[in-house]
Structure formats: C-alpha cells, structure tokens
A and B are shown apart, each in its own frame.
Chain A
Amino acid sequence: MDLLNALVAFANFVFIPAVAYGSQLALGALGVTLIYGILRFSNFAHGDTMAIGTMVTVLVTWWMQSVGISFGPLPTALLALPFGILGCMALVLVTDRMVYRFYRAQKAKPVILVIVSMGVMFIYNGLTRFIIGPDDQRFSDGERFIISARTFKEMTGLDEGLAFKTTQGITIVTAVIVVALLFWFLNRTRTGKSMRAYSDNEDLALLSGINPERVVMYTWLIVAALATVAGVLYGLDKSFKPFVYFQLLLPIFASAIVGGLGSPIGAIAGGFIIAFSEVTITYAWKKVLGYTLPESLEPDGLVQLLSTDYKFAVSFIILLIVLLFRPTGLFRGKSV
C-alpha cells in the first residue's frame, strides 16, 4: 500500500507535471530546431513569438468568453487557438518579408541573422507588452480537473491523491497530435521532404529545383503554429506572462541543443530530458521517500536537491554535460 502511495505521489508531483512541461518544451524546441536547420540561425525571438501567438489566442478567448462562446468542459482557448496560430503566422511572414529576407538575399552570415533576431525579439516583446501589458493573465476555463485528488482518493481508497488537470491532459494529447502531424508532414509529403532536403544540402536542393523561398515560407508557417501551440499550452497550464515566455528561451534552447540542433526527434527527446531533470531535481522528495523507506530511515528535511529557483541551472548543467561528452547532442544534430 505504501509503495502504491509513493507511486501515486510520484505520478502526481513529478511524472504528470514533467510530461506536460516536457511536451511544451518539446514543441518550443521543435520550432527552434526547424529554424536552425533551414534558416540556419538560432532564433532569439522564439520565446517572444510564442508570447505573441499566445497573446492573440488570449485576446480571442476573452472575446469568445464575452459573447458566450464556450467549448463545454474544455477551455475556450482551444477554440481560439486557430486564430492565434493565424495571427502568429501573419506576423512571422511579415517579419520575414520585411526583415530576414533581405539578409538571405545578401547571403549574410548566420550570426548576423542571430543579431537581427535580437532586434525582432525587442520588437515582439515590446508589441506584446504594448498590447496586453506585462502582467500575469489567466485565460483558462472549463473543467479544472479530469481527475481531482479527492475523486481519486475516493475511487482508490489510497491516502495520496492523484490530480490530473484538464490542461495537462490537453497538453499531452495536443502535443502528440501536433508532433504526429509534423512528422507526417516532414517524412511523407513532397513539401516536407523538400524542407529536409534543403536543410541537408542547400546547393543540391537548388539544383533539384526546390524553391528556397517556398521552403522558408513553409518553415515560418510551421514554426508559428508550433510556437503558438506551445505558448498556449504553457499558458493554460501555468499562466500567461510575457517575461516568463522570454525566459523560456533558455530551457527551449537547452532542449534543442541537448537533443541535437536541427534534429526534430532530438528536440522532443531534449524537451523531456530537460523537463524531467528540472522537476525531479527541484522536487521535495520527502513525501515519496516517506512512503518507500522504513520509518527509521525517513528523512527529516524536504530532500529537495535544489530550490525551484535554480531550475535554469538544471537545464544549463544538463546542457553542459551533454555538450562536454557528446557535442553533437543526443541525436547527432549539427552542432559539431
């Protein structure tokens, strides 16, 4: 029984939150990795792209709520999501047209594009704050739990409750669907294959008649969709605050690099590795250990390896370890 309780506590406080967070990171890292593979730079504006897509979704959600449109037990934000994606797509395409395309035509070095993306980051960041303000915004509604802790306790008779939030469920399901769609697109469609070919060998792609501007456009569209989905899921699960989205840049980059920059599978693996490490290292294990260990060995402290404020340090240290011992990332990306 104690072991079951320990398992439930583990699932409740570590496993489920980490899976949800990992899915969000993975979606974000996929966007970063696609840009790196095809446009060949690390997009510092990615966190703010997520924020913009989420902001549009939040605004549409509020409007829907105000006119009484709802999605039953599911959050209204899911209905608003397509609008957020469209808004984000429009914005990144305009940005590409007005900013990035010039540097592609100049054959500017990738690092110049990184600096350019810093400028875009400032603008997106300013836009978000200008429109919705820098404060915390909540926009989730509908049922809060798929299984609440109390129901679970009643159902199973265990001491530990297992709460499964609707937002966590939605995050996981959505992430699976989005990733499946992305991989189907990249591996099965002509356009998707041409994107991979372009990322692999630009000259040969040009010789094969692949139009680089089309590849770039599709990349931005996909990245906008991924960023918005990741941002909305994160916002539903926690809350929407522009600065936090900017800060997500570090764990997202860490995920992409740990997995191997340029490798979509790596981005997903990296996202989960970072998420699980962050959650396990900053979780206070007292409860779980209390159930599993004999009373005499029960710990006095919280058994928290690092305080939650050091979660960035966790992503960073994992990044460091992977890069020291396997510089290309786990899935042989391009950061040789």
Chain B
Amino acid sequence: MSAPVKNTLLFALVGLLILLTGVMQSWNSALLILNMGLVSAVMAIGVNLQWGFAGLFNVGVMGFVALGGLGAVLVSMPPVGEAWAAGGLGVLAGLLLGAGTIVAAIIAYRRLPRGRGRALAMAGILVVGFFVYRAVLDPSVEAVEAVNPAATGYLGGLGLPVLLAWPVGGLLAAGAAWLIGKTALGLRSDYLAIATLGIAEIIIAVLKNEDWLARGVKNVVGLPRPVPYEIDLQNDPGFVERAAGLGIDPVTASTLYVKVGYSILFLVVLLVLLWMAQMALKSPWGRMMRAIRDNEVAAEAMGKDVTGRHLQIFILGSAVCGLAGAMMTTLDGQLTPGTYQPLRFTFLVWVMVIVGGSGNNFGAVLGALLIWFLWVQVEPIGLFLIQVVTSGMAEDSALRLHLLDSAAHMRLLTMGVVLLVVLRFSPRGLIPEA
C-alpha cells in the first residue's frame, strides 16, 4: 500500500470514528470531539514545528496555550472603566517599573566590569527595583480588585471582536517564547526542557493569582463569540422553520449550528496553518532547519546561525500553541486557569505528535484527532468494559463500586500505553517523516 493511500485511509478512519460517535451517541458529542480535535491539531502543529523540525524539547505547551487564552480575554472582554479609573495606570506603571528593573540589571551586567562590584550593583538594582515595583503595584492592584469583585474585579479587555484575539493570543505566546528562548537557547548548556516546564507553571500561577489581570480562579466567563448564540437562533423564526424542514427540533439544531460554525472556523485556521507548515517544511528554510537538526556541527560550520534559527522556530511553534489556546478559550467561552494541567495540555499534545509522527505535519494533525478522540471516548468505553467485567459481582461489592468509580482514570493509563506501544513498534509514528 503506497504512503498516500495509507495516509488517506488513516484520516478516513478517524473521520469514521467521529461519524460513528455521531450515529451512536449524538451529533453534538461528535462535533464537540471534532472541534477540540481541531484545536488540538493546531497545538500539535506547533509542537511538531519545534520537536519535529528542530528537535527542541518544549514541555511548556500548557503555558503558551494559557497565554493564548489570556489573549482572548484581554482582547474581547469589555474594559472595566471603573477599575481603570481606580488603578489601571498604577498597575501599568508598576509593570513598567518591574520590566525596567530587569532591563537595568541586564544593562548593569553588560556594562560594568566583571567582579564583586557588578554582582553587588545588580543585586542592589534588583532588590530596590523589586520593592519599588511592589510599592507601586500593590495599592493599584488592591484598588482594581476591590471594584465589584463578584462580577469584575479586573481591568477587563479591549472589547474588540474575539476573532482578533486569536492572532493576539499567538503574539502573547510568541513574546513569552522570545523571553524564554533568549535566556535558554543561547547558553552553552541549553536547558530548554526544564525552563519550559517551569515557565508553564509560572504562567498558570500568574493567571490563578493575579486577579486584576483575568480574575484568577474566579474565572472570566461569557466571552463574546464569533458565532451566533443558540438562544438567538431558537428565537429566529426563519431558523426554526428551516430546522423543522430538516426534521430536527430547534434546540438541537441551534446547538449543532453553533458547533458547525466553530468547526468551519477552526478548520479554516488549521488548513491555513497546515499549508504554511508544509510550505515551510519544503522551503529552503525548512530544509535548513532539518539540516541543523540532523547535524548541528556541520550546519554551524557552514555558517548557519543555529541559535538564531532555533529561537525563530521556538517562537513560531509557541505562537501556534498560543493561537490554539485562544481558539480553545473562545470555544469554551471562558478562561478557567484552574483547569490547566500539564498532563492534559503539555504531555497529551506530545503524545499526539509522537503517535502521529514527529516531523510530519499531517502526522501531527492525524495524531491530534485520533488521540483526542481516544481521550474523550476511553472514559465511556472503560466504564462499559468495567461494567461487563464486573457484571458477575454482587451489586454492592466494594471492589465493583470502586472500579466503576475509577473508570474515569482509564484515559491516563490508555494514553501511556498508546504512547509506549507506538514508540516501541512504530517509533516514527503513524505517518512517518518523509
């Protein structure tokens, strides 16, 4: 079987799985899986850019995704005028002071001669700067958070269309990636992996705790949508009529309509990204990336700027993850920092890329759709299996109840097994790099 035929069949298989979900469970579930699958595919393309093209080990996907989500909030939510009046400028000033402190410390490090004097000067700048920053920031933050804490208590966003938030989410992630890459990639020992792991936790911590920014664990809900609201559709006589014409009740029809709307939007983004990633892969730039990956020393000897190229692709990949994060937050209609977990948002994306095929964009997309399908469906399947296995046991058997209770955790186990099986028996993934 030739590779294109096999790949088409693989994609068809995933499509069939989703269709089956539609037929056997409900079309709403099927579309839900498809939509998150498409978002995951965008994340997978981002990780594949970094790992597949360049061998960069980024385990901070979660952080970039969350930053994208933050972007969605900052762009689309209406600004809270009262909060801005209370302390908006103070917060901005505080943040600028904080950034200024770090810049000053870096300048001091670069300009002053080596020695104890430099270390002391830097420490001095940082300590003084820190306290000034806190002194300016803290009262403003308190003022902002005091403004109607139950409903807002934050500065709000810009009130722009939410679709605009998607590229902005990508930009936010790119900015963070630039900072990380600048410090981590240029060193003799690059410890990108651990740096990304740490930065992701920090981003989540910031989102959880800085209430003035995005309400922290109180969550921002009710983000504007790029698609119509179900309730509006149900009140639209024309829509109800058309739904009736198709023989679907208006409520179901409206939810399906909204989800299909998201699917189309996501699909467009995915296809554009996929096209760009494919072009990049085939371009001289992509060939150079792979040349660097396969033999860094030789590439460097040929005058390629390895660190520069790595920084480039690290930022690009992270931006794609941020874009996906903004898309996801838009889909959810809310930003809930408490739900960001590395297993789900970092390592699961890695499973998608490895299973799909590192270095192959189509592989990443396939892996994302397939793994996301499994992630969602393993739970009911596991529950069903456990019910079958334990059907012989007494109705109130403690073991049976425990097992039924635990079925939800089957998905982690399954992901681990899938990853290990693929790595062992098909180490280059379902659609290997060409």
Contacts and interface: CB of A to CB of B under 8 A. Distances in A.
A126 interface: yes
B19 interface: no
A162 to B, nearest CB: 30
Given A122-B413, A316-B199, A319-B198, A133 B419 contact: no
Interface stretch (B40-48, B184-192, B319-327): B184-192
B215 to A, nearest CB: 15
Contacts of A102: 424
Interface in B326-358: 341-343, 347, 350-351, 354
B89 to A, nearest CB: 22
Contacts of B208: 309
Nearest to B216: A309
Interface string A111-131: 110111011111111110111
A320 B195 contact: yes
Contacts of A129: 406, 409, 412
A310 B205 contact: yes
Contact of A112 (B130, B341, B423): B423
Nearest to B403: A130
A33 to B, nearest CB: 13
A333 B49 CA distance: 31
A99 B416 CA distance: 11
Contacts of B26: none
Most buried by A among B195, B197, B354, B405: B197
Interface stretch (A220-228, A229-237, A246-254): A246-254
Nearest to B347: A118
Given A130-B410, A309-B205, A122 B197 contact: no
A323 interface: yes
A124 B343 CA distance: 12
A57 interface: no
Contacts of B427: 112
A111 B293 CA distance: 14
A246 to B, nearest CB: 7
Given A122-B419, A327-B189, A336-B189, A313 B205 contact: yes
Interface string B399-432: 0000001100111111111011001100100000
B209 interface: yes
B187 A307 contact: no
B57 A118 contact: no
Contacts of B201: 247, 250, 312-313, 316
Given A120-B416, A122-B347, A250-B198, A111 B405 contact: no
A108 to B, nearest CB: 8
B211 to A, nearest CB: 11
Interface in A96-114: 99, 102, 111-112, 114
B413 A123 contact: yes
Nearest to B57: A111
Interface in B192-223: 193-195, 197-199, 201-202, 205, 208-209
B195 A116 contact: no
A112 B424 CA distance: 11
A77 B8 CA distance: 56
A261 to B, nearest CB: 10
A324 interface: yes
A315 interface: yes
A257 interface: yes
B14 to A, nearest CB: 21
A120 B420 contact: yes
Contact of B420 (A99, A133, A336): A99
B307 interface: no
A323 B416 contact: no
B183 A122 contact: no
Contacts of B420: 99, 116, 119-120, 123
Nearest to B180: A320
B416 A254 contact: no
Nearest to B194: A253
Q: A-B pairs with the 6 shortest C-beta distances?
A: A122-B416, A126-B412, A126-B413, A123-B416, A316-B198, A119-B419
Interface of A: 42, 99, 102, 111-112, 114-116, 118-127, 129-131, 133-134, 243, 246-247, 249-250, 253-254, 257, 301, 305, 307, 309-310, 312-313, 315-316, 319-320, 323-324, 327-328, 335-336
Given A122-B419, A129-B409, A130-B406, 18 more contacts: A42-B193, A114-B57, A122-B416, A125-B416, A126-B409, A129-B406, A133-B405, A133-B406, A246-B342, A247-B201, A254-B194, A310-B205, A310-B209, A313-B201, A316-B198, A320-B183, A323-B187, A328-B189
